[in-house]
Amino acid sequence: MNEQLTTARGPLAPLATAALAFAGAALVLLAFVEAWQVFARYVLDSPPGWTEPVALLLLKCALMFGAAVGVRNETHFRILLGVQAAQARIKWVLNTIARVTAGALGLALAGWGARMMLENWPVKAPGAPLSSGLYFAPFVVAGLLFVVFAIERLLFSFETDEH
């Protein structure tokens, strides 16, 4: 169980660790932004307009970068019971299908996210001096990480494959 809290070994372990650190930092910042929002609303009686859009962006960053690390560690988007019960050759096929599917999902997230980001970039986000397109950037970057991590898993089996 402890292996799920760290990144798997392999050539892209430093990138995965950085992505996990970024997700964690976004989550901590999200907690501070939300705390400020509650304090300003109920103690100062002056709710800031920027906290909600910033919190939304931080939440997307935390979720998407955490999911990318989950794809690399193969703890996300998987049904492990069937894989664990399978014979070695079938297990390899199921792992390959899961990795290709995760890469394809990442490619879709990056492509559609980039399109949405570019189309919404000129639009100002309500309540904060940010572009609305910025809200799609986590999908683009994390989607590309999905692809890179899925390819790494296809090329390097690490310790979880048995074939």
Res 80: pLDDT:
67
Please report, in angstroms and rounded to a whole number, the separation of the first and last CA atoms in the chain.
Answer: 22
Mean pLDDT score, 128-134? 90
Least confident of 41-50, 53-62, 86-95, 137-146: 86-95
More confident residue, 65 or 90: 65
Band (pLDDT 50/70/90 cuts) for residue 2 is very low
Contacts 24+ apart (CB under 8 A), 153-159: 153/71, 153/72, 153/74, 153/95, 153/99, 154/96, 154/99, 154/100, 154/103, 156/10, 156/11, 158/8, 158/9, 158/10, 159/8, 159/9
What mean pLDDT do residues 76-92 have? 73
pLDDT at position 7, please? Answer: 62
88-121 pLDDT, tens digit each: 888 888 888 889 999 999 999 999 999 999 999 9
Mean pLDDT, residues 115-134: 92
98 three-class SS: helix
Q: Alpha helix locations (H) across the chain?
A: 13-42, 51-73, 80-85, 88-120, 137-155
Confidence check: pLDDT of 6 > 90: no
Please tell me the predicted confidence (pLDDT) of residue 90. 83
- Specify the higher pLDDT residue, 95 or 80: 95
pTM value is 0.84
**Listed residue (100, 105, 38, 32) closest to 62, CA to CA:** 32
pLDDT for residue 157 is more than 90:
no
Identify the pLDDT of residue 162: 45
